[in-house]
Structure 1
Amino acid sequence: MQAMLTHIPGRTPLVLDSPHSGTVYPEDFRSALALPVLRRAEDTHVEKLYAFAPGLGVGWVEAHFPRIYLDANRDTTELDETLLDAPWPDPVTTDPVVLQKVRLGKGLVWKFTDEGEPIYDRRLAVEEVRARIERCWRPYHAAVAAEIDAAHARHGYSIHINCHSMPAVAASHATLHPGLHHADFVIGDRDGTTADPALSRVVCDFLRARGYRVDYNHPYKGVELVRRYGDPARHRHGIQIEINRKLYMDEQTLEILPEGFARLQRDLQALVELLLAIDPRG
């Protein structure tokens, strides 16, 4: 079986991960939808945008499995039990905010696309979902946690950048603000709970100085990966970066726009180099 992730250890305090750019669709997925429809859920080409990172000594973790199959940026409790052919024996969330996303079909295992299309024409077996968790979710989180721990042990602090992309306009069945025209970047730290807001401001200010329109904690604050591993009081900073896809790709064909991609990658590398020069402990 093809490896479900790439993990390249780093030597710096910085760790990057891309949980949603995977394009390996497992045979057991058995979706009712065609591949071009499924691919709309990908953070397509994000791993290519940050391809420079390992060469700078930055720790890198990348999912190969697609988010629409198993979303590594959700907790294992965020499961829609109506997807299953039998009762789920493990804990499920009772958080009303999280439940809203789950009921919209965007939990650990997606039920609907962002356009509201049902992904399956069948119920999933409990063991089928458990197998996805064991094969995809647990190894991915283990790799991210290990890389952050190693960075922190080496330097006394860590900066984790959770790398994403977003459509130019939120789809009709998006979990947050359908129809919203997104900024060029959205920087999220869960309202300052996963990273020192001063560090997040450095990121925002840098991108604005490069000519980008940047929103902070709206509409995306960051989800499970920064929530789980960000702890600024212990010098563990987690920031989610969302990039507008229109900057670097054709959203219909998924083809890279060479000029936009090259500019964006240069600016992202400059941002990473800036973060490598910062000690957020002051």
Structure 2
Amino acid sequence: MALPDFLQPRPDTPVEVRLPTAAALPLVCDSPHSGTAYPADFGHAVPLALLRRGEDTHIHTLWGGAPAHGATLIAANFPRTYIDPNRAETDLDAGLLDGPWPQPLQPGPKTRLGFGLVWSRLNAATPMYQRALSVAEVQGRIANCWRPYHAALQQAIDASVRDFGAVWHLNLHSMPQDAYQRLGIASERPLADFVLGDRDGTTCAPGFVQLVADTLRGFGYSVAVNDPYKGVELIGRIGQPQLNRHSLQIEIRRPVYMDEATREPNAGFAPLRGHLDELMGVVAAHVRAALAYPA
């Protein structure tokens, strides 16, 4: 049986890097969770249709116009349920393993929900595996996927800082309609179309967050900040606004652009892609102005 398009063999690389096609700016976009190439050694116990609920499906495509605005766009090819590049290397549930990990582990709050470096659960009722994972296979996932992704992203960040003395980083995601439920949060507020995360004002300049929020609201979308997603490993490590290194997480509510059950784009996909391209133009103009670059 032929594989669906999203499972067709890909080049033997875990990370796709799209370089600027216009004059380069210190603008780096990354999509760590949109990968759809499921490794043969995954060994999961979850049906693929359910497993795909962990994907930020199509996010790298929605933001595909970023390089035309001078940005570098980085995307994972592997799925986050296999190993999550938006987690620290030590953010691992020792209960998943068949033996002791050779270094101390520091599992975070998302790991306790099952969504750590290597997922232990798809949701509260659905374990990912019916087996223990060997230490060696998890180390292989880190070496073959996690570290190459971080190396590619760090190279782009370092190049921006070296060449421009600054960087603006957009960490790109999507979120399920039942995000509050998955996170164990009781909320009377409906989930916004967009959630911007800056770890409570610590990872980028407030004016940049406001610019992105105002632009999105101008397109007619609802926008929340740090509710319910504040940002995790990547923006926490990259964002240092006091050093002119700004990092912002952007989550898009999935039903805005796709059918969550089939993962297929819906009628909102094309308009959203156009709006995101306009947003990238606004962000690029902001970066040029901040650097005193001509338009």
Sort the Cα spacing of 1:69 and 1:181 in 2 relative to 1 into closer, same or farther, 3 A: farther
Q: 1:224 aligned to 2:233?
A: yes
User: Mean alpha-carbon deviation: is it higher for 49-58 or for 207-216?
Assistant: 49-58
Conserved? CA contact 2:28–2:156, under 8 Å: yes
Code of the aligned partner of 1:144: L
2:136 aligns with one of 100, 113, 127: 127
2:110 maps to which of 84, 87, 101: 101
The one-letter amino acid of 2:172's match is C
Classify the secondary structure of the residue corresponding to 2:286: coil
Q: Shift of residue 176 of structure 1?
A: 4.8
Secondary structure of the equivalent of 2:51?
Answer: helix
Q: Which residue of 2 aligns with 1:185?
A: 194
CA distance in 2, matches of 1:249, 1:16: 21
Equivalent of 1:273 in 281, 289, 292: 281
1:202 aligns with 2:211: yes
Q: Which residue of 2 aligns with 1:45?
A: 58
Distance in 1, Cα, partners of 2:48 & 2:180 = 18
Q: State the Cα deviation string for residues 92-132 of structure 1 (Å, max 9, x = none).
A: 116xxx2x321221110000003530110100000110110
Answer yes or no: is 1:91 the counterpart of 2:104. yes
Q: Contact 1:32/1:121 (CA < 8 Å) preserved in 2?
A: yes
Q: Which letter does structure 1 place at the counterpart of 2:236?
A: R
Q: Is the 8 A contact 2:177 2:254 kept in 1?
A: yes
Distance in structure 1 (CA, Å) of the matches to 2:246 and 2:41: 36
**Counterpart position of 1:34:** 47
Match of 1:9 in 2: 19
In structure 2, what is the Cα distance between the partners aligned to 1:79 and 1:66? 17
* Paired letter, 1:217: N
Partner of 1:175: 183
Aligned partner of 2:251 among 239, 242, 247: 242
The equivalent of 2:268 in structure 1 is: 260
Judge conservation of contact 1:170–1:178 (CA < 8 Å) in 2: no
Structure 1 residues 171 and 2, CA gap change in structure 2 (3 angstroms): farther
Q: CA offset at residue 205 of structure 1?
A: 1.0
Structure-1 residue corresponding to 2:95: 82
Q: Which region of structure 1 is more displaced relative to structure 2, 113-122 or 72-81? A: 113-122
Instruction: Kindly state the Cα deviation for residue 139 of structure 1 after the two structures are TM-superposed.
Output: 0.7
State how far apart, in whole Å, the 2-side matches of 1:93 and 1:141 are: 19
User: SS where residue 132 of structure 1 aligns?
Assistant: helix
Query: Structure 2: which 5+ residue stretches go unaligned?
Result: 1-10
Structure 2 SS opposite 1:27 = coil
Could you state the TM-score of these two structures normalised by the residue count of structure 2? 0.89
Q: Secondary structure of the equivalent of 1:89?
A: coil
**8 Å contact 2:87–2:232 — kept in the other structure?**
yes
The aligned amino acid for 1:65 is F
Aligned length: 276
Identity of aligned residues (%): 47
Runs of 4 or more consecutive aligned structure 1 residues displaced over 6 Å after TM superposition: none
Task: Give 1:5 shift.
Answer: 1.0
8 Å Cα contact 2:76-2:149 kept in structure 1: yes
Return 198-207 or 174-183, whichever deviates more. 174-183
C-alpha separation in 2, matches of 1:48 and 1:116: 31
Contact 1:169 1:181 in 2 (8 A): no
Query: Residues 62, 178 of structure 1: CA spacing in aligned structure 2 closer, same or farther, 3 A cutoff?
Result: farther
How far does residue 220 in structure 1 lie from its aligned partner after superposition?
Answer: 0.5
Distance 1:273 1:74 in 2: 30
2:168 alignment partner, SS class: strand
Aligned 8 A contact 2:180 2:228 in 1:
no
Query: Could you tell me which amino acid in structure 2 is paired with residue 195 of structure 1?
Result: C
TM, length-normalised to structure 1: 0.93
Judged with a 3 Å threshold, the aligned counterparts in structure 2 of structure 1 residues 176 and 28 are, in CA distance, closer, same or farther, namely same
